Amino acid sequence: MGIPFGYVLALAGIVVVLGMICATTRRNLIMILLGVEVMLNGAAIAFIAAALRWQQLEGQAFVLFIIAIAAAEVSLGLALIVYLYHRTGSLNPEDYQVLK
């Protein structure tokens, strides 16, 4: 009866690894930001499983703040990406070599 807690942790770990691969290997700022989103999602899965495992509400509260922080991070990150695109005309992080 019931799912072993380790299975859910393994699922969260796989999602975080997928996000890490996306964030480190893609050469497009939007895909890098998507990878960060996927990693935050994996963390949220782990927290919600822990909340169920110990029957405490702290884990769910953490997920609420993860969602709030993800929204803040994405809005500011996308604003920066739009700004960089207007300045350099590129979304490839390797093209940003000017320090001014």
Name the DSSP letter for residue 55.
T
Q: Give me the amino acid identity at 60.
A: Q
Report how far apart, in Å, the C-alpha atoms of 3 and of each of 10, 45, 47 are: 12, 14, 15
Q: Which of 43, 57, 88, 98 binds another protein (CB under 8 A)?
A: 57
CB of 100 vs another protein, minimal distance in Å = 14
Binding of another protein by 36 (CB under 8 A): no
- 15 binds another protein per the rule CB under 8 A: yes
Q: Does 48 bind another protein (CB under 8 A)?
A: yes
Euclidean distance between the first and final Cα of the chain, in Å? Answer: 60
**Interface with another protein, residue 96, by CB under 8 A:** no
Round to whole Å and give the CA distance between 10 and 28.
Answer: 28
Q: Is 87 in the site for another protein (CB under 8 A)?
A: yes
CB of 56 to another protein, least distance (A): 10
Residue 32 binding another protein, by CB under 8 A: no
User: Quick check: 1 binds another protein (CB under 8 A)?
Assistant: yes
Q: How many alpha carbons fall within 13 Å on the CB side of residue 33?
A: 19
